[in-house]
Amino acid sequence: MKFKILAVSVTVLAAFALSAQDGKILHPEMTVSTGTWDKPAATIGTKPSMPWTATTTAAGVDQKPQPGKEITVVGEIVDFSCYLQLGKHGEKHRACGQKCVQNGQPIGLLTQKGELYMLMPEEHDPRRDGGVDAKASASEHMGHIVEVNGTEASVGAYHGIYVQGLTK
């Protein structure tokens, strides 16, 4: 009986702790020194005139990609994997994050509200064929607060921004 009470108590406390972190940046003591929420250090991506490029539309099932909307978001470029697993970001994590994205780890954009988006090149065929790559701009601005233009798409709790205008 005591074990059941202890197990239930631990579960409730864990759920409370996780829900308390919603909408907050993990480890706010890991600060950013380049760019601010009001004055981003750079802009990544071109503002799309339509949600999807021709190659993305052509690649969609029945030439209909999932719904997307043009979006501009300010956030910190993070290594998605280290942020999600360890809460690491900011200037102190810059070198590690640069190595991670250069070696294929996903790129994230962390907003002031604690939302985490995955960033990817938008153009389907060039992305598939290796003609565009987000690693260079992500590495250059790792740990910086930037403005990102692109197309937002989401499935369930997963959110991504597909960025146009990236080069290899």
Which of the 8 DSSP states describes residue 142? B
What is the structure's pLDDT at 22? 60
Lowest-pLDDT choice from 9-13, 32-36, 55-59:
9-13
Interatomic CA distance for residues 146 and 117, integer angstroms: 13
Which of the 8 DSSP states describes residue 16? H
Helix (H) or strand (E) holding 40: none
pLDDT digits (tens, 9 = 90+) for 37-72: 999 999 999 999 999 999 999 999 999 999 999 999
Instruction: Residue 42: name the closest of 109, 106, 87 by CA.
Output: 109
What is the structure's pLDDT at 44? 97
What is the structure's pLDDT at 159? 96
What is the structure's pLDDT at 167? 82
Name the one residue in this structure whose structure tokens are 């300010």. 74
Q: Which two tokens mark 146?
A: 């930037």
What is the structure's pLDDT at 21? 47
What is the structure's pLDDT at 168? 76
- pLDDT band, residue 12 (cuts 50/70/90): very low
Structural domain boundaries in the chain: 25-163
Name the one residue in this structure whose structure tokens are 């409730």. 12
pLDDT digits (tens, 9 = 90+) for 80-105: 999 999 999 999 999 999 999 999 99
Identity at 157, one-letter amino acid code: A
Statement: residue 7 has pLDDT above 90 = no
